[in-house]
């Protein structure tokens, strides 16, 4: 397994990456397209790398309110209005390509 890249252009679909927080993560091709479009500075990748955080005032992964999803990426500042949602499948956090605003 490879370390999680800090740039969406370096991420391959359906490849399992490990984060420094110990999470195994995988991105679908739709999620990579959304990342390239909405996260040019890689803030969401940094949030995924950081791992689980409390829901308020932190950059990282917080609980998702979307049905069927476990976590969402959370960033502050510019780009902070979007969340990328993920669900655990066989111990790997999958980001299939669901983006919401807040």
Burial class (CB in 10 A: 0-12, 13-18, 19+), 65: exposed
Q: How far is CA 45 from CA 7, 13, 21, 67, in A?
A: 7, 14, 12, 22
pLDDT at 22 over 80: yes
**33-86 per-position pLDDT tens digit:** 999 999 999 999 999 999 999 888 889 999 999 999 999 999 987 656 899 999
pLDDT computed for residue 15 by the predictor: 96
Delimit the domains of the chain by residue range.
Answer: 2-101
pLDDT computed for residue 79 by the predictor: 56
**Domain 2-101 CATH (choose: 3.30.310, 3.30.2310, 1.10.10, 1.10.1040):** 3.30.2310
pLDDT computed for residue 96 by the predictor: 98
């Amino acid at each position: 397994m490879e370390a999680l890249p800090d740039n969406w252009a370096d991420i391959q679909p359906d490849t399992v990456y490990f984060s420094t927080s110990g999470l195994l993560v995988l991105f679908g091709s739709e999620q990579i397209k959304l990342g390239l479009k909405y996260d040019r500075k890689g803030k969401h990748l940094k949030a995924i790398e950081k791992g689980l955080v409390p829901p308020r005032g932190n950059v990282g992964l917080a609980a998702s309110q979307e049905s069927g999803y476990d976590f969402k990426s959370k960033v502050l500042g510019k780009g902070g209005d979007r969340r990328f949602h993920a669900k655990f499948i066989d111990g790997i956090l999958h980001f299939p390509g669901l983006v919401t605003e807040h």
